[in-house]
Structure 1
Amino acid sequence: MTEPFSSPRPRGPRRAVIVGGGIAGLLAAAACRAFVQEVVVIERDVLPDRPAPRRGLPQARHAHMLWSGGADAMESLAPGLTGTLLDAGAHRIPLPTGMVSLSPGGWYRRWPESHYILACSRDLLDWAVRDRVLPGGGITVLTGTEAVGLTGGARRVDGVWIREDAGPARRICADLVVDAAGRASRAPRWLTALGAGPVREITVDAGVAYASRIYRAPKGADEHCPVFTIQADPRRGGPGQIATIIPIEDGRWLVSLSGTRGGEPSADEAAYLDFARGVRHPLVGQLLAHAEPLSDIAVTRSTVNRRRLYERARNLPDGFVAIGDSVAALNPVYGHGLSVAALGAVALRRELRRGGVTAPGLTRRIRRTVARPAGVAWGLATGQDVFYPGAVGRSPNPVDRLVSRYVNRLVETSTGSYAMAKALTDVMTLQSGLGRLVRPRVLMCAARGPLRPRLAKPPLTDRELGFLAPTSLAAQLGQDPASRPAGG
């Protein structure tokens, strides 16, 4: 590859180059800023200066949840982000208080708050991250620019080849290169070209398709609205189908329907509502029947679980790490991608604090620490996806089946035990690792089982019942007296 221009390595303080200017890339830039002279972000798209769609982020049209573990991580990297989001109309939804959810073990009770999620459109979240990170200085974003390879050798990466528009490639030197290019990352091939690697890759593909649409929320549902979700149950056999409503800014609902191979939703108008009514409970479909559609139906099938095991590769050069979807691209239905990216950026910053960008063994340590939250999210996603018919990648083995039975017991117990619900939510929000679920108190709770009877109806408040019409339908779904929020 020719080298018509070489951006020199700075003397003294150092330079980090981030491949990808999405949320993962900007959070990585924020993590690096205090430890280098300059951070350069390479981004193919043109980034809008307001909350707006961009070509390289088609998944923005589908539901995203920012669990509290990820939200807290983002706030630590970009102080003021939560306030910016809330001021722009995002919702802070307490968990499990603000979630109406049918789990494989039954309806969750709406216990007092132990965690939370931030709910908004992806366009708003991306803009808010840019708004909080870029004005801090020290970060240069090269938009309309594509990374096309790594420079250096098998022992150390020392830069990136980039191309702007159709021009010649040029080299930009770096002491640290962070791959945040996401699902489309070509870094494993680039490393092979340097004589490094290989990086083992594993996939689990349940054939999930997503169909999403924006609705205007019914009158009275635009403030303090819960998340509504009807989860799949792999134990039932057949495809897993899910329906979710997430309140977003400007009095709107973002509705995402998903189904595994053989049970996918479509963009057909009538079929969309039929799918929503045909999952394990018709609640979401009944809510949509009285909401105004504001957008077309967007469909995607880019949902394969893909894990690149950088932390296990023995022949990787110093000076290179990956975070976010470049490490673990997950089935979006579990909502962990954003949180994994944020926690990966926090891990990057933590290791840089230990000795700076030139510390011996730095990138090896970063790979290990980034892998921890990615591994938790991977286990949560694939531990369920492998059981759906037609899943490709691997079949469930005896250990998978044993773990699945245990997790099913935990979920069933959580429908009637606040302690168990909190333990599960600790893990789901990525605020604890999977080890949280085998602590003595959790084991005792699982042995004892639910302390309260299973709910017969969705745990709706009187105000939420007002979203449902006609009156006969609201009466049919009327609140189960046992479902009122309570501790215990």
Structure 2
Amino acid sequence: MSESPSPARTAVVLGGSHTGMLAARALAAFADRVLVVERDVLPEGPEPRKGLPQARHAHMLWSGGVRAMEELLPGISETLRKAGARRAPVTTDIVGYSAQGWFRRWPESHHVILAGRDLLDAAVRAQVLAGGPVEVLGGTEVLGLAGTPEAVTGVRVREHDGRERTIGAGMVVDATGRGSGAPRWLTELGLPAPRERKVDSGLAYASRLYLAPEQARGGFPVIHVQPDPHAGVPGRAGFLLPIENGRWIVTVNGTRGGEPSGADDDFVRFAREELRHPLIGDLLRRAEPLSEVAVTRATVNRRYFYERMPAWPDNFTVLGDALAAYNPVYGHGLAVGAQSALLLRKLTARHGWGAPGLSRRVQKAVARPVGAAWDLATGQDVFYPGATEGGPTLRDRLLAGYVDRLMRTATGNGRIARRVTDVTSLERRAEVLLSPSVVLAAVVGPLKAPLAAPPLTAEELKRVGLQ
């Protein structure tokens, strides 16, 4: 790296979390210097930080995101595994209860990576910062963009000592998350406000960390109890994810009128009595709590349609939750961030650093994975009272009806279960669910009778004291 890289060959990434670090890696092959501007002072290892409260909740990384991360950071999956993260095959290691019944544990189609968010971020951060031109400017607040409606030339910041300055850049990437100021920054440059859509089910979610029963610490399936958005009651759901060091991270949630409390002594009761099945609560009775309950209510689905703006400045791109933030219970934010960073790298390589219109091409390209995750996240949430101003549209109702039929079929048809996970893993586009063979299977319905109980093996039940 040269001692004084020119602003034109400098990339500035706003936000040092998952998507920001992957975006920094994506640009490291083209820029002489990549500067990550972060409000927090980032920790050295897998430790909590103030600006990432969602780290206290359950996270999973779907295989579509894992594959993108591997292209950007070769070997990251093995690094995570050695640090204690788990690779769980889908649907083999998932015990899921849907509105249509229990899913069977079919042979592996895809997989998820399970780890605490602090561990995941630390592993990515360490690999991104290990050599190369990436550096972090911590304790620094972003004030706005520098430039014109035609092109961004840098970013205005306030450093930890109160000093304000402008950092010149040939590319600025906003990965600051849900609190992004990009809509305001763009209007300050003279551009119109972007179109925005919100779907707010009023969801609140609460999480707690547990030490698994001793015999279950070597591995246990994911447990997922889903809501029924058509039941006419608040939607309540829960996840139990086995992560590193023999621990379980458990998240329960409820939509408007059915929210969990933040009381430690109410967590197990909610999991056992308020969810549609008591399995998670029964398991927690045999586990040791390791943390207090953490509650978050910032869960609105919100998407900015930057790709549809009539004009877009060169040298500026918005990625991750700053572009689209989803109800976190669907677990797609991490995967979409990774896929978007990979698209940033591919398009920069194809068109060249600083090419006119590059940022607009990137913004249009990332709308594809963003749109796929958006449809998955909002397809159910629109049915809860007050989620949108006008309620579900005719398209929403038709799509939901077909998806419900598919999910019922997937409980008793392994081929359809695989097609569904093709889409939920973000490895294939939703069009695969409209192929003639899939539509016919949905009409026929499940080939096997519904399961009467959770598909846990006798050995798994024994390990957690339920047999």
Q: When the two structures are superposed, what TM-score results if normalisation uses the length of structure 1? A: 0.93
Q: How does 1:29-108 map to 2 (within 5 A)?
A: 29-108=24-103
Q: How does 1:242-281 map to 2 (within 5 A)?
A: 242-278=237-273, 279-281=275-277
State whether structure 2 residue 303 is matched by structure 1 residue 307.
yes
State whether structure 2 residue 447 is matched by structure 1 residue 451.
yes
Q: How does 1:388-399 map to 2 (within 5 A)?
A: 388-399=384-395
What corresponds to 2:233 in structure 1?
238
**Paired residues of 2:216 and 2:464 also in contact (CA < 8 A):** no
Q: 1:48 to 1:393 in 2, by over 3 A?
A: farther
Letter in 1 for 2:429: G
Q: CA deviation at 1:236?
A: 1.2
**Paired residues of 2:95 and 2:224 also in contact (CA < 8 A):** yes
**Paired residues of 2:236 and 2:255 also in contact (CA < 8 A):** yes
Matched residues, number: 464
What corresponds to 1:460 in structure 2?
456
Q: CA deviation at 1:360?
A: 2.6
Distance in 2 (CA, whole Å) between partners of 1:313 and 1:265 is 39
**Paired residues of 1:386 and 1:394 also in contact (CA < 8 A):** no
Distance in 1 (CA, whole Å) between partners of 2:390 and 2:118 is 35
Distance in 1 (CA, whole Å) between partners of 2:390 and 2:343 is 30
Q: State the identity %.
A: 54
Q: Which secondary structure does the structure 2 equivalent of 1:383 belong to?
A: helix
Q: 1:363 to 1:316 in 2, by over 3 A?
A: same
**Paired residues of 2:86 and 2:115 also in contact (CA < 8 A):** yes
State whether structure 2 residue 290 is matched by structure 1 residue 294.
yes
The CA RMSD measured in Å over matched residues stands at 1.4
Letter in 2 for 1:128: A
Q: 1:198 to 1:183 in 2, by over 3 A?
A: same
**Paired residues of 1:217 and 1:292 also in contact (CA < 8 A):** yes
Q: CA deviation at 1:231?
A: 0.5
What corresponds to 2:118 in structure 1?
123
Q: Which secondary structure does the structure 2 equivalent of 1:236 belong to?
A: coil
What corresponds to 1:112 in structure 2?
107
Q: Which secondary structure does the structure 2 equivalent of 1:395 belong to?
A: coil
Q: Which secondary structure does the structure 2 equivalent of 1:220 belong to?
A: helix
Q: Which secondary structure does the structure 2 equivalent of 1:457 belong to?
A: coil
Q: How does 1:353-432 map to 2 (within 5 A)?
A: 353-432=349-428
What corresponds to 1:184 in structure 2?
179
Q: Which secondary structure does the structure 1 equivalent of 2:61 belong to?
A: strand
Q: 1:393 to 1:8 in 2, by over 3 A?
A: farther
**Paired residues of 2:175 and 2:321 also in contact (CA < 8 A):** yes
**Paired residues of 2:57 and 2:251 also in contact (CA < 8 A):** yes
Distance in 2 (CA, whole Å) between partners of 1:69 and 1:317 is 30
Q: Pick from 316, 327, 334: which aligns with 1:331?
A: 327
Q: CA deviation at 1:393?
A: 4.6
Q: CA deviation at 1:350?
A: 1.1
Q: Give the gaps of 5 or more residues in structure 1.
A: 1-6, 475-488
**Paired residues of 1:9 and 1:173 also in contact (CA < 8 A):** no
Distance in 1 (CA, whole Å) between partners of 2:205 and 2:389 is 20
Q: How does 1:198-217 map to 2 (within 5 A)?
A: 198-217=193-212
Distance in 1 (CA, whole Å) between partners of 2:464 and 2:146 is 59
What corresponds to 1:483 in structure 2?
none
Q: CA deviation at 1:441?
A: 2.0
Distance in 2 (CA, whole Å) between partners of 1:9 and 1:82 is 33
Q: CA deviation at 1:445?
A: 1.4
Q: CA deviation at 1:437?
A: 1.1
Distance in 1 (CA, whole Å) between partners of 2:357 and 2:440 is 41
**Paired residues of 2:211 and 2:290 also in contact (CA < 8 A):** yes
> Cα deviations across residues 278-297 of structure 1 (Å, max 9, x unaligned)?
21111001001111111101
Q: Give the gaps of 5 or more residues in structure 2.
A: none
Q: CA deviation at 1:56?
A: 0.4
Q: Pick from 142, 150, 168: which aligns with 2:145?
A: 150
Distance in 2 (CA, whole Å) between partners of 1:180 and 1:312 is 19
Distance in 2 (CA, whole Å) between partners of 1:361 and 1:52 is 39
> Cα deviations across residues 167-207 of structure 1 (Å, max 9, x unaligned)?
23111111111100000000110110010132111111101
Distance in 1 (CA, whole Å) between partners of 2:303 and 2:144 is 21
> Cα deviations across residues 301-348 of structure 1 (Å, max 9, x unaligned)?
010101011100112211111100011111100001101100110111
Distance in 1 (CA, whole Å) between partners of 2:54 and 2:417 is 30
> Cα deviations across residues 408-457 of structure 1 (Å, max 9, x unaligned)?
00000000111110111011011111212111221121122111111111
